[in-house]
Structure 1
Amino acid sequence: MNEIFNKALLPMIKDAYEEKDGILGYRQMTIKLNRERHLTVNHKRIYRLMGILGLKSVCRRKRKNYIHSTPEITAENILNRDFESSEFGTKWLTDVTEMKYGNQNKAYLSAILDLSDKSIVSFVVGHSNNNELVFKTFDIAHMTYPDATPLFHSDRGFQYTCKIFKKN
């Protein structure tokens, strides 16, 4: 059954390839056949059959350019895995956690935890993982405990290593 369908697909693929002067790769070929011929064909099948026919797109997909940057380490690891504290407000941990809800929704929880009693000092929930979320969390902690001068410990994620965070 599959072999018969594959043999019927081969001339369709070759015709579509020649019609578009070899521009179509397997992704666009799949879309074209599924839409114009009202087929339901998987992209992996098209990829395999184009390989059998020796057809490749003459156009290459543009690569995404990423800016490689050296991660900025803000401070050495002073805490050094000593996650114990006898006094409140001397050692605080912070992190941002992604939570998924519904079909495709995400929320981000930024929290600060005190190591003396493992209590949450402050937290903020938002819909985007950005510096504003982290700054709000720190502002609430500072307003709630203005006299505290804790040692902050984080996972050195992008929110905590950026230049704006260092200034604040």
Structure 2
Amino acid sequence: MHTYEERMRAVELYIQLGKRSRATIRELGYPTKNTLIGWYREYVRRQDLPLGSAPRPPKFSETQKQVALEHYASHGRCISWTMRALGYPGRATLTAWVREAFPETRTVSTGTRGPGHHSSAAKQAAVVGLYCREESAEALAKRVGVSRPTLYAWKNQFLGAKAPATMRRKKSAPLDPEIEELERQRAALQRDIRELQIEHDLLKTASELIKKDLGGDLQSLSNREKAMLIVALKNQYRPSALLM
């Protein structure tokens, strides 16, 4: 930012040199051509220059800021995930907003680090997405903000290393005993995924309805809070499936 005296000196020299911007900038070493012309036009209009530069209006509205912070807080507290979902703001801006809104947060998850920087609910949602296969594992990992190996590490964490990485059946037909064993594994895997989906929905609903960050522990809820969750999810699951 240039002082009032520096701006006036530039405008006066610009006029003295016949409005030759290159000669003026070469003589003074500042500013840019567009800036110099802007100063000159302001001087012609006001016959003077303002003492200070007017502050720039904020690039994002307060509403946009709050929407971004709410998405960040309710979707695993991941910077990259929020940026991809909303399409704004830049990483530095969102990081500054997060540190301002959540001063207790010492580190901010950018989505480029390991699995420990995502909440349990975010990991579970990613694993469910891995098995639903509405997109490739590579695309899912990119959207979540982690690497493909990290995504499969989460799968191992929740379902075990022996669980297959996909529910698609093999095209080649094995022998009958092998088919039966594969069907048993598939059924068990479906049960595990359903339980994982239920737990994820319970944690997400608890975060939205009760405003609690449970850290993956539903047992810390009171009986009244558990009843609230069962009522909220009654259209998706049978009450018996939601008993905690």
User: Taking structure 2 as the reference length, what is the TM-score of the superposition?
Assistant: 0.23
Which one has a larger percent helix, Structure 1 or Structure 2? Answer: 2
Which one has a larger percent strand, Structure 1 or Structure 2? Answer: 1
User: Taking structure 1 as the reference length, what is the TM-score of the superposition?
Assistant: 0.30
Whose relative contact order is higher, 1 or 2, with alpha carbons under 8 Å and at least 6 apart?
1
